[in-house]
Chain A
Amino acid sequence: MAKTDIGPPNYRNFMPPVMQKNYGQWKYHEILQPGLLRHVAESGDELYTVRAGSGRLLSTDHLREICEIADKYCGGYLRFTSRHNVEFLLTDRGKVDSLLAELKSKGYPVGGTGHSITSIVHTQGWVHCHTPATDASGPVKAVMDELYEYFVTMKLPSQLRIALACCLNMCGAVHCSDIAILGIHRTVPKPDHSRVPNVCEIPTTVAACPTGAIRPDPKAKSVVINEEKCMYCGNCYTVCPALPLADAENDGISIWVGGKVSNARTAPMFSKLVIPYLPNNPPRWPETVAAVKNIVEVYARNGRKHERMGEWINRVGWERFFQLTRLEFTDKHIDDFTLAPDTYRTTTQFKWG
């Protein structure tokens, strides 16, 4: 019988010696070029970090290739970042150029530092989720192909963090991203009354609904869904597989902007809705790619240095944002959830656009 509750391996044993030695004794760092950091310790020791983008979904053979590179240049140590990037950690400046050359030849994008776009945090989508309103890896790949230059350079006003979640359960917690790509369902689950009695437990199914939109239908030994109350979260489908939610023609993508997590300058902010719906158009989601690219380019042209997306929008106003991006403003953009009145304009001060 295997041991349980042993917890993860102790990270200390997985750190390269230079990090163990200078633990908590780092003095400063600089970004030498996109994707290359130099950290200097109080002791004078130096650590070079080469950051490479990743698609997050990795085969074991791909991981072994990453291991081979880390063996060759980094004494067998590496780490990943909170945004799926892989970081190669070196002490020998002399090896950096050949590492960069090898990564380039093997197709690893190097960048994602400073005023760049870094890897998109995302969820499973059609690869592994049971309630997705869109795929995750596909739109991410298509968007990053188009925004590649912003990963390998640092020419934006500030950092730009993009995240994708394939439904509003938001395993990807995209709600504080500069740009959030969010899958949305727009139609209620369709009970399969012939299967509900056999595969679902009615009380559990009713209890699974966060908004109380499901009630039992004792005659049919099934359930009825109140379309007014349903918010398309898919929780009921989790417990009752006879309540399919997906709708190929109506599911799609919404775009949100202006969120941030960091406390630098301004407080953390939520992302706000700017495009309520774009169709799912695999394999390359051209509408989503064009929409994200447009927002990035308008921000790149208009944002001031160090200004995050949301800081720029707060400075110029949402009315100016919609004008500059030429996005249509609709009734979907006006909040009607619990704190909606906080978002109405309660002043005579506004811009014409």
Chain B
Amino acid sequence: MAKPKTPLLDELEKGPWPSFVKDIKQAAEKKPMARDLLGQLELSYQEKIGHWKHGGIVGVKGYGGGVIGRYSDRPDLFPGVEHFHTMRVNHPTGWFYTTEALRKVCDIWDKHGSGLTNMHGSTGDIILLGTKTENLQPCFDDLSEAGFDLGGSGSALRTPSACVGPGRCEWACIDSLDICYNLTMEFQDQVHRPMFPYKFKIKVSGCANDCVAAIARADFSIIGTWRGKIQIDQKEIQAYAASGLDIREEITGLCPTKCMSWDEKGKTLSIEDADCTRCMHCINQMPKALRQGKEKGASILVGGKAPILQGAQLSSLIIPFIKLESPYKELKELVLKIQDWWDENGKSRERLGELINRLGMRTFLKAVGLKPAPQMVKTPRANPYVFFWPEEIKKEGR
């Protein structure tokens, strides 16, 4: 079969950044599917339009998700991509691999699919990009044999993800990797069999830097934090100052709560810890000199999402501080309680954050048994439309 002519895509082989076109061409050397992908993509570049149809229901035995059906709308021109379904494979937490395991995935995908991947998809899964319907089950069987499993899709728990955490980072206040892995294993049924009003995402970040964007992207966001005093090594602070870091300008001057001061003469940093909101700025700049407080745990926030449907939302704080230790019983109970309430009350395609908006945070807190706290809001209510629970109102004749 002749190589498709791709004058437009060839332009994207130029330049210093790694070229995806080179990767598709590399796969096209071996795979007719990749060759037709290249041809169809060139057509899209000519016509400025996509050429994929959404699939019907395709999948593997026993699962309701993990495969995204995709069909070409020009199978006449590109028969190799007539079906081109994606398999989402649950990544190893923290995206760690041995070359042995990664090669196994490559071999399986060369055998059953297009030889093209995304490392990784937006939610974190390994994306195996494009195969035929009849290859799905054999591919899954081989993946399972190699120790891999599918991730979530549709109205399911999507593959949870976590930052590198205690694997490498001194700022991990919680074992983000273990929490993520443990929840993933616990909730396998929720991942593989869509049963919710819409998608549900869990992301775990070890500190407020939030390297997995839990606050922006997860319905249930677990973000590490601490209580107590930031540990200061004055000698190391002095070393940073001596090496050219302007402590006043770059550290105390940028502290959002102005809870710290720098004594230029005595070369000492002092922190009013009660005023600190643990934003991480000073610690980020001076990791050798400043360490988080010793009592570590997490803040829990809920309801984050991208715009569809009612607009984007950030997650909102519902638990200021919780200690998280394996097997995370309290955490799992909370997740289930929240999902139950959402499942019971949510409309089709209504994310948790939107449901909380519709029914009110007070209703949510009551349903999941959390006590209101000033930490949960930026300001109290400014309008007079206050609702009281029936039991709070005196009834006549009682």
Contact = CB atoms under 8 A, between A and B. Distances in A.
Interface of A: 1-11, 13-15, 19, 23-24, 26-30, 39, 47, 49, 53-64, 66-68, 70-71, 76-82, 84, 86, 107-109, 121, 123-132, 135, 137-138, 141-142, 144-145, 148, 151, 168-176, 207, 210, 233, 235, 237-239, 241, 246-249, 251, 261-266, 268, 270, 280, 282-284, 305-306, 337-339
Nearest to B207: A263
Contacts of A47: 168
A234 to B, nearest CB: 9
A53 B20 contact: no
A169 B306 contact: yes
A28 B102 CA distance: 30
Given A63-B106, A170-B308, 7 more contacts: A28-B170, A57-B24, A138-B12, A248-B47, A261-B213, A262-B209, A270-B312
Contact of A7 (B96, B149, B213, B285): B149
A176 B216 contact: yes
Interface string B89-133: 011111111111111011101100001111111101000011000
Contact of A76 (B48, B99, B144): B99
A135 B44 contact: yes
Nearest to A238: B54
Main secondary structure of the interface of A (DSSP, over half): loop
Given A145-B16, A148-B16, A283 B116 contact: no
Interface in B151-174: 161, 163-164, 166-170, 172
Contacts, number: 338
A264 B209 contact: yes
Contacts of A247: 49
Interface stretch (B181-189, B332-340, B365-373): B181-189
A141 B20 contact: yes
A11 B93 contact: yes
Contact-residue size bin, chain B (C-beta under 8 Å from the other chain): 35 or more
B97 A127 contact: no
Contact of B164 (A7, A64, A79, A280): A79
Contacts of A49: 168
Main secondary structure of the interface of B (DSSP, over half): mixed
A80 B288 contact: no
Contacts of A305: 249-250
B4 to A, nearest CB: 15
The 9 closest A-B pairs by CB, nearest first: A145-B15, A24-B166, A263-B208, A2-B144, A67-B99, A144-B17, A126-B44, A60-B106, A170-B306
Contacts of A15: 94, 96, 167
Contact of A8 (B14, B26, B37, B149): B149
Contacts of B166: 23-24, 26
B3 interface: no
B6 to A, nearest CB: 9
B181 A132 contact: no
Given A54-B119, A59-B26, A61-B27, A109 B308 contact: no
Contacts of B288: 28, 30
